[in-house]
């Protein structure tokens, strides 16, 4: 700020308009305004200044892709037309404006250039933010993401309004897709608009793909809240790799009195963080073959993970709370959770006696 202060005071006194991309040269150094709120405004004694962050880079190469609008379905000009009629005039207009301005772009951002939308896909040298100047090599192409032929997007029943009449597509789904017309979707993706939560239940072809002008959109039906429906796609994939019995046990919403929200948090933590027992502790638990020991009439005869009856000769493991399971079933559970799946007694505390 000491370096910037003299020039900032001068611009404040002169009532110079400050815009995003403006060069400010002060005390022998060059600065760029990377963001100003509101845009095209004046400096005052109440203005807050931020000068943190890495030095901004001048990009040597930048890759743009042109995105299509799912409602208008803009025609596809060739890439040379995209460069000559859109990219080049846009950046040249800033350089030729007569002001000391820079073309600032952010990797990942979507820019409106005349009547088309362009996304900054990559840049060299690697940086999230940089300057495009006359020495930057610019590459442009059309977005190659396929367009859905059909997509079925369904709302969760408990998020729909009940105080007034509504049209799911026109009041909720269409406005969301219009505002997020370049979003890519996969099966099981979820999003919320105006308090209504939606889920992509099926699509053709498989994603990722975009909703385009020729996509047939279905929104019939509702989803009832369940842990399988509420889990994000990455955790659903992890869940699908577990034994079926363990999946059922994890998704059992009656296991906790707290209901869906509490159970969802627990399942997410178990799948993502694996805060369970280590192999050494698990091996200290009682393990034997079913049938080797006598059982009383009221003894447990079914594994509550896979819900199958025990058979003679199967390896089982008995927890300190006396609940018994197939060894392969309960070992997988205990790698993710320290508690008995039936009574919630802490297995780790009982084994190590702390």
Q: 44-69 b/e with 16+ CB inside 10 Å = b? A: eeeeeeeeeeeebeebeebbbbbbbe
CA-based diameter of the chain, in Å? Answer: 95
Q: Quick one: 327 and 303 in the same domain?
A: yes
pLDDT for the residue 28: 87
Beta bridge partners of 111: 118
> Model's pTM, two decimal places?
0.53
Q: Quick one: 269 and 338 in the same domain?
A: yes
In a domain, residue 253? The reply is yes
| Block mean pLDDT (10 aa), the chain, length 354 | 90 92 88 90 91 88 84 64 90 70 90 89 92 92 89 90 92 92 86 91 89 90 71 70 65 48 62 74 91 66 82 91 89 84 86 77
The residue segments making up the domain with residue 326 are 234-352
Helix intervals (H) in the chain: 5-14, 79-82, 88-95, 174-179, 227-230, 233-240, 244-250, 260-273, 279-283, 327-334, 347-352
Are the C-beta atoms of residues 270 and 333 closer than 8 Å to each other? no
pLDDT for the residue 269: 65
pLDDT for the residue 99: 64
Number of structural domains the chain divides into = 3
Give the span between the Cα atoms of 329 and 308, in whole angstroms.
11
In a domain, residue 169? The reply is yes
Q: Quick one: 256 and 204 in the same domain?
A: no
C-alpha angle 189-191-193 in degrees, rounded to nearest 5 = 160
pLDDT for the residue 329: 85
Q: Quick one: 200 and 242 in the same domain?
A: no
In a domain, residue 45? The reply is no
CA-based nearest residue to 330, from 343, 341, 346: 341
Q: Quick one: 319 and 344 in the same domain?
A: yes
Which of residues 75, 107, 142 is at a domain's end?
A: 142
Phi first, then psi: what are they for 79, rounded to 5°? -65, -30
Which of residues 91, 114, 142 is at a domain's end?
A: 142
Are the C-beta atoms of residues 24 and 33 closer than 8 Å to each other? yes
Q: Quick one: 186 and 161 in the same domain?
A: yes
Q: What is the CATH number of the domain that holds 254?
A: 3.30.40.10
pLDDT for the residue 303: 85
Q: Quick one: 248 and 346 in the same domain?
A: yes
Q: Quick one: 182 and 268 in the same domain?
A: no
Q: Quick one: 208 and 266 in the same domain?
A: no
Q: What is the CATH number of the domain that holds 186?
A: 3.10.330.10
Q: Quick one: 282 and 311 in the same domain?
A: yes
In a domain, residue 189? The reply is yes
Which of residues 162, 190, 224 is at a domain's end?
A: 224
Q: Quick one: 266 and 331 in the same domain?
A: yes
In a domain, residue 193? The reply is yes
Give the span between the Cα atoms of 218 and 149, in whole angstroms.
11
In a domain, residue 156? The reply is yes
In a domain, residue 218? The reply is yes
Q: Quick one: 64 and 103 in the same domain?
A: yes
Beta bridge partners of 151: 203, 217
In a domain, residue 206? The reply is yes
């Amino acid at each position: 700020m000491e370096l910037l202060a003299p020039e900032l005071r001068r611009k404040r006194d002169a009532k110079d308009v400050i815009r995003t991309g403006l060069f400010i040269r002060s005390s022998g150094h060059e600065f760029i305004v990377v963001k100003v709120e509101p845009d095209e405004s004046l400096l005052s004694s109440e203005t807050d200044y931020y000068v943190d962050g890495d030095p901004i880079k001048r990009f040597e190469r930048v890759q743009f892709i042109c995105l299509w609008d799912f409602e208008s379905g803009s025609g596809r000009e060739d890439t040379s037309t995209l460069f000559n009629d859109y990219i080049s005039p846009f950046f040249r207009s800033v350089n030729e404006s007569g002001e000391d301005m820079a073309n600032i772009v952010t990797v990942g951002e979507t820019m409106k250039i005349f009547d088309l939308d362009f996304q900054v896909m990559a840049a060299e040298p690697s940086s999230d933010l940089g300057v495009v100047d006359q020495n930057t090599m610019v590459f442009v192409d059309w977005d190659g993401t396929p367009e859905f032929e059909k997509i079925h997007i369904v709302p969760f029943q408990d998020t729909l309004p009940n105080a007034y009449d509504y049209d799911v597509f026109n009041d909720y789904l269409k406005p969301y897709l219009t505002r997020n017309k370049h979003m890519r979707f996969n099966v099981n993706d979820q999003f919320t608009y105006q308090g209504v939560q939606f889920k992509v239940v099926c699509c053709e072809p498989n994603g990722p793909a975009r909703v385009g002008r020729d996509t047939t959109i279905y929104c019939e039906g509702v989803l009832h809240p369940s842990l399988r429906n509420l889990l994000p796609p990455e955790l659903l994939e992890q869940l699908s790799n577990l034994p079926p019995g363990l999946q059922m046990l994890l998704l059992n919403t009656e296991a906790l009195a707290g209901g869906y929200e509490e159970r969802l948090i627990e399942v997410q933590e178990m799948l993502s963080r694996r805060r369970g027992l280590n192999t050494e502790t698990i091996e200290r638990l009682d393990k034997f073959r079913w049938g080797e020991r006598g059982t009383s009439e009221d003894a447990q005869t079914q594994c509550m993970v896979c819900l199958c009856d025990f058979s003679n000769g199967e390896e089982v493991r008995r927890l300190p709370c006396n609940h018994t399971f197939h060894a392969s079933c309960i070992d997988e559970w205990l790698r993710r959770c320290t508690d008995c799946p039936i009574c919630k007694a802490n297995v780790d505390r009982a084994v190590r006696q702390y």
